[in-house]
Structure 1
């Protein structure tokens, strides 16, 4: 493998099924310089290893966008923004669809009961047209993600999972309009509105499940502090975490997280390692003992000699293993 090979992560939006995952993986692997591409449908994250001399992260994003999906370079500090926007949009759509489908179903119940109770024709026709009017925004605006996904697939000459969804709701709504206009015995606009609501609800619940699944990775990324206190010839200075080097003497005040793996030189304290080891009881550490980056100093100030940088330490390895486990197929 080339010396310029690097690994990057992408957050993907718009994946609907395993076929979407396979489609994006094949497209990424077809790019020049891409050695490996793995996508986890659960977290909607891709792990791509590629030759930086032949392609770029922007090229990966453009490739995914060309397939009709949205890709965002993985950044734990900024990734929540597009995900939160997408989640808010999905929540609004499912709530509007629930309101519309619920009212349409009440009108349908009234029509079914009225058929046995001798409802007059004027009222019957009026209720049908009101139900049709309420179903229209459900099958258009609320179902916009389905329409976009279906058309994007058809442009690529592929049948995606959105195509049968759009076909079902459009046929139900179209037949309902014809039935309403011709005063037929049965209308199906309530079915169209309910199809949209149920599928949107399922996707919203699935999105929340994915968010819970990937929460552990985000919690690990937030364990490490942004800066560290280094003791040097000029005294104590605050430096960015990425400037910490092996052999640096770091001062860890009580209540602060350990920036990087190290060995205690001065002081003794207890450390909270629950998010690293699962052990809820604080662990006592003495001079000469090893402390892991991401653990939290609880009692007193200690001085630590760095044995591994933040990118090579225990916390980084755990995060990489967890991320890799989520992207690998069972």
Structure 2
């Protein structure tokens, strides 16, 4: 059987196993995929540069990709977005610098059918959204593998196992490097001592040989990850940090080999080992720092039960949580955590809801009361009906939101990435320029180098320039600080949908707040009720109308009516809710007469041309039948504890505070004056609220809107960042950018202070990395830094950025 060369890797294979593609031949689908990828992206000049050399074929683990398109895999890992696209979270193996992230995102975004590809540098987790009609998940996996990386579905257990394995491999490589480097340092002491005290040429050669033996495994085993990263970077026309490290170490190694085999000069095997070792140690400490930052998310996820006991035909079954359906009855023992949102079937129960609301005391619940996933059953065995699947549950929504926030990038990070992309090209150019200037123009800063010695000095100075530059610190500056900031916010019940909102919140200049449930407690109580017609039939209509609305005022009046009258519901029709005003409906009695009924505020009465004067500094509710006022209610809402101090502190942070409410002017004025808000707008409906927000934005204001996440949805959507306060976490998560789980103004203030603190440290990190490079690169070009010191300072710059970011955790 004749042998044929693969048109990609140039390795020879039997003709019968080759894949034919027009006039081309490939040894495997991987080579075929890479060939067409390079061709489509205009990178086929790669083969001209390759010449007749052979390369290793790409990953050939495509025999398992069919599983990614199976129904069972889809049920376990793939979700559907609101727009109807498919979404999955993947872990991408092999990512260890910002350039890796950029390469994967670029290739994926350029793939037809992929809507979104967002990769988090800190966790290697990728959020992929794609159109199932245009591309399959298996094809996406093959695309990632074709450029030298591997991907698998994110699963907490598997991810932890793979992370542990990867960390162990990294640790072994690092320890080999540390061991060899320590021994090289002992040999170097002898060599440099002999340099001053006299040493024979033979002994010197033996020392060089020993250094060679020790440095070789450091470079080619411990440093393999840098070669791998540099290879895939070059393959895609990117000069990354790995290229700088590997090229600096390799050039030093080659020159040292020249000296070992008889060339004139000094060997630098010690520098080779130290370059690799220092950078490896630095990267390992980065890994530890990142792990510390994501511990909050890990703790939340590890607390989710994996199984649930369901009752079916009075028989208990243990099922995985993903197999439990809406409508199933779940049994929960004392001390166990609920996995689903549901309704209590038992007569009573007590739940610890501190993980959701921040309330430290147990909450008593009666039959029919709502149970939130993530809360703990305190007293006895109870049963509840599942109202939402695990995937849609409150706790899982919180976890998903946190994971998404860690995958997103602030605007400032995109700017930093733009800078770091061209950084390596600049450094390599400076290194070449440095060599040329030193060698051809005879710069020696007082040293007398001639011939080989002059070349040696020029060469080593150029190597120092390559090694000392640190694009890694620049790339780490934003993501590591964002990661720590997000985790600290989450610890305090503040859920950010995306990390970019840290930057927006930190740079905001205007805070717009709804009144009810935000500044006030939102638990209205009827302070005064007046009945102009106490006909029980009409009061029944009032009770039924109140029951058709979920507004806090309607709920409070309904509670008052229930406690003071014995009422029954009637059949209403044409029920309409008018935003910011109230509810209208119709009722037909047994004689066929139709009554027009309405309930709401004064604005509703004006809309229906009902002439009635009623003023109060409290919230009001008026009930009308056929244009006749039947009852009026005055409701009082307590101002939250610490509201005045909160407003004062927010103003100190430099924000203008505006209260925006649909309530009457007298009530708004009373609340505003009590908490110290000078600028307030009252009696506005949701559309007017949204227009007010838009008007502020038209004036180039950076607007933060705080509301209940439901009635203020239009205004929230218009703001730069929307914040939901309230216990309806499942609803709030869908309409707001930030959710405060405990409904506290202290948490809202913390959101601003921690965001500003995080943003300050991001800017500090960028400043540190830029100043580091601005100082050290000229020093290296001037010949004041030897390669091993360059490697040490390069690692230290990254560690300084990580250590500085950890200061976000420090409480003032």
Same fold (TM over 0.5): yes
Report the Cα offset of residue 227 of structure 1: 2.3
- Candidates 328, 335, 356, aligned match of 1:248: 328
1:187 alignment counterpart: 267
Preserved contact between residue 9 and residue 74 of structure 1 (Cα < 8 Å):
yes
1:149 partner SS:
helix
Pick from 70, 85, 92: which aligns with 2:150? 70
Query: Closer, same or farther in 2 for the Cα pair 1:277/1:44, shift >3 Å?
Result: farther
Post-superposition shift, 1:235? 4.0
Aligned equivalents of 1:158 and 1:107: distance in 2? 37
Greater shift after overlay, 105-114 or 192-201? Answer: 105-114
Compare relative contact order (CA 8 Å, sep 6+) and give the higher one, 1 or 2: 1
Structure 1 range deviating more: 284-293 or 254-263: 284-293
Question: Structure 2 CA distance, aligned partners of 1:24 and 1:32?
Answer: 14
Give TM-score, length-normalised by structure 2. Answer: 0.38
Partner SS state of residue 236, structure 1: strand
Q: Where does residue 115 of structure 1 map in the other structure?
A: 195
- Unaligned runs of at least 5 residues, structure 2: 1-80, 411-812
Larger mean CA deviation between 301-310 and 218-227 belongs to 218-227
User: Which 4+ runs in 1 deviate beyond 6 A?
Assistant: none
| Alpha-carbon separation, structure 2, partners of 1:175 and 1:235 | 77
* Shift of residue 130, structure 1, vs aligned partner: 0.7
Q: Find the counterpart in structure 2 of residue 203 from structure 1.
A: 283
Deviates more, 1:125-134 or 1:188-197: 125-134
Structure 1 segments unaligned to the other structure (5+ residues): none
Q: Deviations over 1:66-118 (max 9, x none)?
A: 22222222122322232222211111000000011111112112211222223
Root mean square deviation, CA, Å: 2.4
Q: How does 1:100-249 map to 2 (within 5 A)?
A: 100-182=180-262, 184-249=264-329
Deviates more, 1:237-246 or 1:138-147: 237-246
What is the Cα deviation at residue 232 of structure 1?
Answer: 4.0
Distance 1:4 1:321, change over 3 A: closer
Output the CA distance in 2 between the equivalents of 1:61 and 1:257: 36
Given that 1:13 and 1:69 are in contact with CA atoms closer than 8 Å, whether structure 2 keeps it comes out as yes
Residue 14 (structure 1) aligns with: 94
The structure-2 alpha-carbon separation of the partners of 1:138 and 1:313, relative to structure 1 and needing over 3 Å to count, comes to same
Q: 1:305-330: per-residue Cα shift (whole Å, max 9, x none)?
A: 32322111111110111011001101
Cα distance in 1, alignment partners of residues 264 and 258 from structure 2: 8
Selected match of 1:286 from 347, 365, 370: 365
- Give the Cα–Cα distance (whole angstroms) in 2 for the partners of residues 4 and 56 of structure 1: 15
Alignment partner, residue 306 of structure 1: 386
Residues 8 and 57 in structure 1, CA contact (< 8 A), matched pair in contact too: no
Q: 1:286 to 1:162 in 2, by over 3 A?
A: same
State the shift of 1:3 in Å.
Answer: 6.7
TM-score (norm. length: structure 1): 0.90
SS in 2 for 1:146: helix
Q: Which has the larger radius of gyration?
A: 2
- Deviates most, 54-63 or 243-252: 243-252
Q: How does 1:56-67 map to 2 (within 5 A)?
A: 56-67=136-147
Q: CA deviation at 1:165?
A: 1.6
Query: Which stretch has the larger CA shift, 9-18 or 24-33?
Result: 9-18
Counterpart of 2:311 in 1: which secondary structure? strand
| Distance in 1 separating the partners of 2:96 and 2:310 | 48
Q: Deviations over 1:174-224 (max 9, x none)?
A: 112222333745221100000111111122222223333333333333333
Residue 278 of structure 1 and its aligned partner are, at CA, apart by: 6.2
Going from structure 1 to structure 2, the CA distance change for 1:136 and 1:175 (only over 3 Å counts) comes to same
CA distances 1:244-281 after superposition (whole Å, capped 9, x unpaired): 3334332211232212112333232343744x5567x4
In 2, the alpha carbon distance for the partners of 1:293 and 1:87 equals 33
CA distance in 1 between counterparts of 2:87 and 2:198 reads: 70
Preserved contact between residue 353 and residue 376 of structure 2 (Cα < 8 Å):
yes
Q: Supply the distance in 1 between the matched residues of 2:397 and 2:141 (Cα, whole angstroms).
A: 26
Which has the larger displacement, 161-170 or 311-320?
161-170
Q: Is the 8 A contact 1:36 1:49 kept in 2?
A: yes
| Residue of 9, 13, 25 corresponding to 2:105 | 25
Please point out which of 253, 264, 268 is paired with 2:349.
268
Question: C-alpha separation between the residues in 2 aligned to 1:278 and 1:138?
Answer: 52
CA contact (8 A) 1:34 1:51 kept: yes
